[in-house]
Structure 1
Amino acid sequence: MSTKGEAFAGLSVAVVTPFKGDEVDYDAFRAQIEFQIDAGTNCICPVGTTGESPTLTHPEHERVINFVCETANKRIKVMPGVGSNSTAEALRLTKVAEAAGADAALQVAPYYNKPTQEGFYQHFKRIAEESGLPQCIYNIPGRTGKNVEPETIIRLAELQNVTMVKEATGSLDQASTILGATNLTVLSGDDSLTLPLMSVGARGVISVVGNIVPRDMIALCDAVDRGDLAQALQWHRKLFQLCRDMLGLSTNPIPLKAAMKMLGRDTGEMRLPMTPLEPGQEASLRKTLTAYGLL
């Protein structure tokens, strides 16, 4: 069955924001974008969780959106993080992304203020109705403090511009409920759950580990699409420990930036309150990268 956000099936990568001397390093950022284009990645998602949007100023956030859209130049889709716990601010950022030429908007559920389900509905409804961009609802209650319940997402699916869900609840039951009741494109928000979620009908992943091994994540998604579950399982098992380290050793994107530094692709710099891996964690990560064949 065709889904509303089918154009975003496959691999999207939640790209890092490179820093150098506490400033955004646009030269390194350009190299990261070209790396994803060369790999055949379908879409990049800047200024999300992995892109450290909480520590960017509003002007920096807007400049990154504009820079990524301009650099991508329609050679790869761009779905920037534009969510906020203020509906007015989320709408403002969405319009910035739309004007910049983004292809969709990644809308994290409002965090900290813990809206009711009706509050979630009205928040996403207003943005969807006042923007022309396809909207991807990013549901990650482990960070936001509250789940957008399936019933709310089912209501939102009736809106024309709500086309996708980034599913990061960790619940196959929730994903299955949404998939059974809507024609939304569901994308995994947890790398290690990509195969399980695709097995019940999800169409791809917005990936962290794709910053390092995009071709391998594409191979996993392609294998599922071909119905070659044995090959997909091989990729899942190969990727599993790497995925677990990226999200399990410490808070995202701390392990990812450490890995990219080890691989010579980033300075590893972050802004407070994000701090580097402990020495033991770093040694564990280096062991995983070596075992995978990256070092």
Structure 2
Amino acid sequence: MTHDPVRPFGRLVTAMVTPFTADGSLDLDAAGSLAEWLVDEQGHDALVISGTGGESPTTSDAEKEALLRVVGEAVGDRARILAGVGTNNTAHTVELARTAEKAGAHGLLVVTPYYNKPPQAGLVSHFTTVADATGLPVLLYDIPHRSGVPIQTETLVRLAEHPNIVGVKDAKGDIAATSDVLRRTDLAYYSGEDSATLPLLSIGAVGVVGTSTHFAGPQTKEMILAYERGDVAGALALHRQLLPLYTGIFRTQGTILVKAGLRALGRPAGPVRPPLVDATDAELDQLRRDASAAGVDL
């Protein structure tokens, strides 16, 4: 697996859901086989394990470590494995990061501390402390509508000086701010919102960390490659085709609908853990319509 500094985690990355058994316990065999399907059949370059989409708020630290080891054994020689280690407690995040490094992760996804609303100086301290804690490359996750706090432009420019902070999963929805960071740093930007991937490519992003990409991975990768080749019309056609699924996957909640769609395909996923609730028949029917409109059969 060659390392590309421009695209440290490739182009197509998915925040993989975490399969559970019918009684809600961790299904490690299913996690390995889901990872193999995504990498070997759907063309993923990297997987995020224990991101929010992997129900990280309701999995234990021991479960997170076990998942990383199993997925690493399954596909770690063919895809890069990113561990979601972000919490709103710096010491806990450092602990998760060190465990992830020992478990064989190739990189870390670190979300902005949520709910406690640290000031920008607190963000610099948090991210720097975590980046110092291991030798792994770090992808910052900027998602203010969930975390409550944006990583401001000057903060991102400052953090970009850290040798281990290599990129951003960008769900800020501010093209001008992102463009300014890309102009001033060499951070690798990944769209954190499926529908924003093409617009972000146009200002210098390199890929996506997706949700609907559980189902539209090959088409999304082709959209990115088409844009890179200079086939802007082809990329735009794919963006428009896939838009109903890019947005539809979030109608209820991303993890809920991904698991419903995987179950519909006969793929191992299992239920979600509370406080999430499984999709209703009506919600699954709507997802099937959204996928069908995008040319994807669920």
Structure 1: where are the runs of 5+ without partners?
Answer: none
Q: Give yes or no for the alignment of 1:250 onto 2:269.
A: no
1:12 and 2:13 aligned = yes
Correspondence 1:51-66 to 2 at 5 A: 51-66=54-69
CA distance in 1, matches of 2:238, 2:121: 40
Corresponding position: 1:85 with 2:88: yes
User: How many angstroms does 1:156 deviate by?
Assistant: 0.2
Residue by residue over 1:62-83, the C-alpha shift from the partner in whole angstroms, topping out at 9 and shown as x without a partner, is 2112222222232111011011
1:201 maps to 2:204: yes
State the partner residue of 1:151: 154
CA deviation after TM superposition for structure 1 residue 9, in Å: 3.5
Deviation track 1:238-274 (CA, whole Å, cap 9, x = no partner) reads 1100011112x11221121111122221344000000
Give the counterpart of 1:228 among 225, 228, 231.
231
Residue identity opposite 1:264 in structure 2: G
- The equivalent position to 1:290 in structure 2, one of 284, 289, 292, is 292
- Are residues 1:238 and 2:241 paired? yes
The 1:24–1:159 alpha-carbon spacing in structure 2 relative to 1, beyond 3 Å, is same
Moved more, 251-260 or 9-18: 251-260
Residue 50 of structure 2: aligned partner: 47
1:190 aligns with 193
CA contact (8 A) 2:97 2:133 kept: no
Give the Cα separation in 2 of the matches to 1:293 and 1:220.
Answer: 15
Instruction: Identify the residue that residue 24 of structure 1 maps to in structure 2.
Output: 26
Identity %: 38
| Structure 2 residues not aligned, in runs of 5+ | none
Show the counterpart of 1:264: 266
Q: Is the CA contact (8 Å cut-off) linking 2:15 and 2:48 kept in structure 1?
A: yes
TM-fit CA distance, 1:92? 0.8
SS of residue paired to 1:80? strand
Structure 2 contact 10–46 (Cα < 8 Å) conserved: no
The DSSP-based 3-state class of the residue aligned with 2:53 is coil
What is the correspondence of 1:92-111 to structure 2 with a 5 Å cutoff? 92-111=95-114
Please, what is the CA RMSD of the aligned residues? 1.5
2:205 & 2:163 partners in 1: Cα distance? 20
Q: Distance in 2 between matches of 1:101 and 1:140?
A: 26
Q: Tell me which amino acid in the other structure corresponds to 1:255.
A: L
- Determine helix, strand or coil for the equivalent of 2:114: coil
Distance 2:285 2:213 in 1: 21
Per the TM alignment, residue 222 of structure 1 is displaced from its structure 2 partner at its CA by 0.8
Aligned-partner Cα distance in 2 for 1:293–1:167: 26
For residues 123-142 of structure 1, the aligned pairs below 5 Å read 123-142=126-145
Deviations 1:94-149 (A, max 9, x none): 11111122111000111111100000001111111221000100011111111111
Q: 3-state DSSP class of the match of 2:8? A: helix
SS in 2 for 1:163: strand
Counterparts in 2 of 1:111-126, with a 5 A limit?
Answer: 111-126=114-129
In 2 relative to 1, CA 226–53 (structure 1 residues): closer, same or farther, beyond 3 Å?
A: same
Match of 1:76 in 2: 79
Counterpart-to-counterpart distance in 2, 1:157 and 1:286: 41
